[in-house]
Copies of this chain bind each other. A is one copy, B any other.
Amino acid sequence: MQKQIEYEQAIKTKYPEQVVIAVAKDKAGRANPITLGWTMLVSGKPPMMAIAVAKTHYSIETIRHSKCFTIGYPSSDMADAALFFGSKSGRNTDKFAEFDCKTESAKAIDSVLLADAVANFECTLRTETEAGDHIIFVGEVICSHTNTEPKKRLYTTAPGHKLGPAS
């Protein structure tokens, strides 16, 4: 049976929620990673993925500038990197310089892959749509990669940025 309650309470039932790390280069050519929970697949043919980024975030500028981004699925042992990339701003922090997280060059776009991630998807920007306090960016996946070792994805498992494997 359902009981009406405030949205802020109801949305606490969403966990576990997937975590991705999106990376786009800024005007200075610096790769800027951001940790996001708000992402989904949006097309099968061609493969496309969407991310929702808060309007205030530096990543808005980097994605608009480079018109491409990678989406990495961090592995369950990358919680510290995900927390760091999600809590600092690329406006005043070179995140990859300040946090030790191995990267590799992307193959089809000018961005980087997360070397230890479960998978990485290289996307070219297709559309952006305003949605409340966020911008939805849709990218077409033009190149895909997985880890040579089997890894589990990282999830937010409970409120308060509790991160870990889903199972």
Contact = CB atoms under 8 A, between A and B. Distances in A.
Given A50-B40, A146-B3, A166-B167, A133 B11 contact: no
This chain's copy number in the assembly: 2
Which 5 residue pairs are nearest across A and B when measured between Cβ atoms? A43-B132, A10-B144, A2-B145, A42-B131, A166-B166
A138 interface: yes
Contacts of A52: 40-43, 50
A9 interface: yes
A85 interface: no
Contacts of A18: 14, 17-18
24 contacts: A1-B115, A4-B143, A4-B144, A5-B144, A7-B121, A10-B144, A10-B146, A11-B47, A13-B73, A13-B153, A14-B153, A16-B16, A38-B41, A38-B42, A39-B40, A42-B134, A42-B136, A44-B132, A44-B133, A48-B134, A50-B50, A50-B136, A129-B138, A166-B166
